[in-house]
A and B are shown apart, each in its own frame.
Chain A
Amino acid sequence: MPFRRRTLGVLAAIATAGATLTPLRAQAQEITLWSHWAAEQPKRQFVEEAIRRFQAANPGVTVKTTWYEKNALYAALRTALRAGQGPDVFYAEPDQVEYVQNNFLLDLTQGIDWDKVEPWARQIWTYNGRSYGLPLEAWTVEMYVNTKLLQELGGAVPASLQHTQSEFLELVRKARARNITPISAGVGDRPFTGAFLTHETLLMRLGKEDYGKLLGGQLRWDDPRVVDSLRFVRSLVEARAFPPGVATMQLGQSHTYFHTNPGTAFFPMGSWYTSRAFNPPDQGGQPADFPLGVMRIPLPDNAACPRCRTIAVGGSYVVNARTRHPDAARAFLNAFTTPEMGNLWLESVMVQTGIKADASRIQGARAGYFRQLAASNADAEYFFGIPLQILQGRVRDTFVQVVNNAFISGQASVEDVVRQMNAAQQAR
């Protein structure tokens, strides 16, 4: 009898260990993934490659993907999550704090290979000490420049990669004198692309701490340093630096406006500029011989933090708190957290990533671009997240309407911006 009991105990232990160690092989499982990027082939191919690798390493586990455009995805998720019908894994961005606040996201603090993820990227997805998302897409705010046009205006890319504000304003005026629109921008279909110059100027002028206070509502918009920063952007508006149709120009049009027709000298843009510009010209990409340069946003006088710049995490994957396959979902996310996948992202998507990667390994035609991007970001002190990812509710809506749109299209003065943002902060 003791022998029999011992045998049964050993068998039970083996069975338990087997179930624990090989949960993904023991039974067929299907993970559902709802993702943005339906129309962005490089990102889609990257995710499909991760799925292929994951499924090869985990026989019996399949990933069923549904591709969406972002707005359709968000609408579908709102309904599905409320109804308890959400997918196991889905696309999200760090500003969607409502998912965390309503307990829709699985805590990923354990079970993800965080050593392979950039610490700052993990930090952006950390709430109350817990991590909730795997940051795939990361980007910085850059000042793209047509170097040939810049030379024709009598300018040059400085060794510091950064003009002072007065140098920059002078170049803008020279361009206007030659009937060239100096800066391309389009806010017709994006709520943040018109605010790049403004918030990067504010960040450098105030420094990270006070800039954080400004966005957090602890610093008022009538602070003299804020007003100074706004006055610089206003001086650009008054110098007619932006396209007359900036308020309705769409993002894709603003790209073409910069590199093809009519052509501008500067283009403040997220480093995901490449996801459109490096397509063939007949698909909206820049001309093959386009003299692209990467610079920093102009340096304000009396800048508290000259090396400060924004880095933002965009597309990320999170796990539904109600998933029936939490381990498989975590394992699936770990299919992305390898140096190989990090490098694959850089090579194929051409924008930074929250996965640790080595840009110096990139070879080929785009290697030079990544060297420029790395030089622009050398010694940078990063502030995490653009204002749109930090502001909430009424302040966010006011920022979109006033700072992003009306300010650079000349329909709101510095005083208007100060008054409206202060009022929105009081009403938050």
Chain B
Amino acid sequence: MTAIDAMAAPMPAVAEERPVWAAVVPFLLPAAVFYLGLTAYPVVRTIWNSFHHVLPAGDDFVGMANYAELWADDTFWRAVRNTLTWALAAPLLEVGIAMLLALALYAKVPGARFLRIAWFTPVLMSYVVVGIIWAWIYNYDWGAVNVLLRTIGLDEWTRPWLGTTDTALPALILVTTWMWTGFNMVVLLAALHSLPSEVMEASELDRCGWGSKLWHVIVPLVRPTILNLLVLSFVGKMKIFDLVWIATKGGPLWSTETVSTYTYKRAFEWSTFDLGYPSAIATVWFVIVMAGVGVLTWALRQRQKLEY
């Protein structure tokens, strides 16, 4: 038998090999158990609960009653409005400012190393700490904002920033912007540093100005990163709870009520043990968040494949 004949000879029987699943299952099992137990089951159970009154004595099927009540619940819709405002405004602010900061660092402004650390630091703090700090900053009597305004003679501009219906939500949006812009900046900076040098050099050879280079070269190249950051920020704001709970508890007059804080109030502060209604809120919101992510992804998808 020649070497070629030997190579052409049939391989040993497949039956002698261990089945593929035997190798796969041990790897999949831990993750599957965690996923099924801590994600899939709670989701399914929440949907199930939303069709029941869930009391310690047992579940009582109520059909669509929780959803019908939700439809007529003014506070819920106010919370939806606030949360959507936050989830649409904050990503644009965070990513927009982060892009400018990242470009500044990319252009190696003086003190870039220090600024990168300083701008990133807020995200290292928890929402609880941030909420307390900013509640102090916004304090009417001795908070930094009002002290500054009084110092420069703008006394009439002072106000309880978190205690007034028309400023409380914008004030909180500013807090999340302050907190998350640094994170977005670092991710965008990494994306900028990984841009293909030949494309950048080609644009310079073509005498592309900064504005044109930014708009026609850099932004299209980092577009997937921007999309991911927008989606992450959007989802984060759709779930926001801690900051509101610490700073305003949803007040004044529900002007900072978010869907998460309202769900919590209905579940744990409504003098009832029923978990059916809060489950209906959670289910509706789950669907809306999924739809929002889908729409965002579709709207910002890359329509033409970039080649370079």
Contact = CB atoms under 8 A, between A and B. Distances in A.
A78 B271 CA distance: 11
A406 B253 contact: yes
A409 B270 CA distance: 25
Contacts of B272: 98, 101, 393
Given A97-B271, A245-B139, A248-B135, A411 B165 contact: yes
B271 A245 contact: no
A402 B252 CA distance: 8
B164 A247 contact: yes
Interface string A163-186: 000000000000000000000000
Which of B139, B252, B265 gathers most chain A CB within 10 Å? B252
Interface string B240-283: 00000000101111100000000001001011110000000000
Contacts of A82: 56, 273
B138 A248 contact: yes
A248 B140 contact: yes
Contacts of B141: 243, 245, 249
Contact of A409 (B56, B135, B252): B252
A245 B163 contact: yes
A78 B57 CA distance: 14
A102 B56 contact: yes
B74 to A, nearest CB: 8
A103 B57 CA distance: 9
B268 A98 contact: no
B59 to A, nearest CB: 13
Interface string B138-155: 111100000000000000
Contacts of B295: none
Nearest to A188: B163
A407 B272 CA distance: 27
Contacts of B163: 188, 245-248, 409
A66 interface: no
A397 interface: yes
Given A104-B56, A411-B164, A245 B140 contact: yes
B60 to A, nearest CB: 13
B55 A102 contact: yes
Contact of B251 (A95, A96, A103, A405): A405
Contacts of A411: 164-165, 252-253
Contact of B271 (A248, A393, A401, A402): A393
B271 A392 contact: yes
Interface of B: 55-57, 72, 75, 135, 138-141, 159-160, 162-165, 248, 250-254, 265, 268, 270-273
